[in-house]
């Protein structure tokens, strides 16, 4: 893909993401830069592993910022004897949950199995959770919190959702500027 550049991911991840983009979106007709701000570990694509800004997509002067948002309160138990192995209270989008649970659960598959009580060794009780959410900054630096929760929990699929919708979002922001005033004085400003 000639018009899209990636930073912060491995060559294999880049190739995989390019293949998915070609399959879902087709050809990219404008220059786009996709920058990963946190390392994306193999088989750890869920928002639960991360916190805060994870990816920024830069196109036509706008920045689409994909964040792992939410608070996670989780307790991990050993299923053999019911022992509490870990309690995590991950607030303020810090990504602490992903760091703390890593010695026990290393992949999305293991994480989801523990959450669904199908993991052989662990059970994970979770209150609250994370999700991928996208915010937009205009070329003038105006912040738009559109409360755009991305449909997928897989970060690469989230990037695809943003890439496929970014033209209509930019159009909406620029054509309806008087209707969408989320600037610095807004209750949505972070």
User: 94-117 pLDDT, tens per residue?
Assistant: 999 999 999 999 999 999 999 999
Mean pLDDT of the chain: 90
Contacting residues for 75 by C-beta, under 8 A, at least 6 apart:
84, 86, 87, 88, 124, 125, 126
The span from the CA of 145 to the CA of 136, in Å, is 7
DSSP-derived letter for residue 49 is: G
Residue 184: is its pLDDT beyond 60? no
CB 100, CB 86: distance < 8 Å:
yes
Domain boundaries, the chain: 4-69+130-175, 72-127
User: pLDDT digit string (tens) for 4-50?
Assistant: 999 999 999 999 999 988 888 888 888 999 999 999 999 999 999 99
The span from the CA of 71 to the CA of 67, in Å, is 13
Locus of tokens 């005033």: 181
DSSP-derived letter for residue 102 is: T
pTM of the predicted model as reported, rounded to 2 decimal places: 0.88
For the record, the structure tokens of 115 come out as 């959450």
Instruction: Give 101's strand partners.
Output: none
The span from the CA of 98 to the CA of 155, in Å, is 14
Confidence (pLDDT) at 1: 62
User: Which residue stretches of the chain are H helix?
Assistant: 11-24, 96-101, 108-115, 155-175
Cα dist from 66 to 55, 60, 80, 82, 185, whole Å = 5, 17, 39, 37, 22
């Amino acid at each position: 893909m000639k018009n899209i550049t990636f930073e912060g991911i491995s060559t294999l991840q880049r190739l995989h993401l390019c293949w998915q983009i070609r399959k879902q979106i087709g050809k990219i007709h404008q220059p786009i830069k996709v920058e990963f701000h946190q390392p994306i570990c193999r088989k750890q694509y869920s928002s639960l592993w991360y916190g805060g800004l994870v990816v920024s997509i830069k196109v036509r002067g706008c920045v689409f910022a994909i964040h792992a948002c939410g608070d996670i309160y989780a307790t991990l138990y050993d299923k053999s004897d019911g022992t509490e192995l870990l309690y995590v209270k991950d607030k303020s989008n810090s990504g602490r949950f992903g760091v703390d649970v890593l010695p026990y659960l290393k992949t999305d598959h293991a994480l989801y199995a523990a959450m669904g009580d199908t993991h052989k060794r662990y059970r994970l009780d979770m209150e609250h959770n994370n999700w991928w959410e996208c915010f937009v900054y205009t070329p003038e630096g105006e912040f738009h919190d559109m409360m755009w929760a991305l449909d997928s929990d897989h970060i690469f699929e989230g990037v695809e959702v943003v890439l496929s919708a970014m033209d209509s979002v930019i159009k909406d922001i620029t054509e309806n500027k008087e209707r969408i005033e989320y600037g610095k004085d807004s209750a949505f400003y972070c």
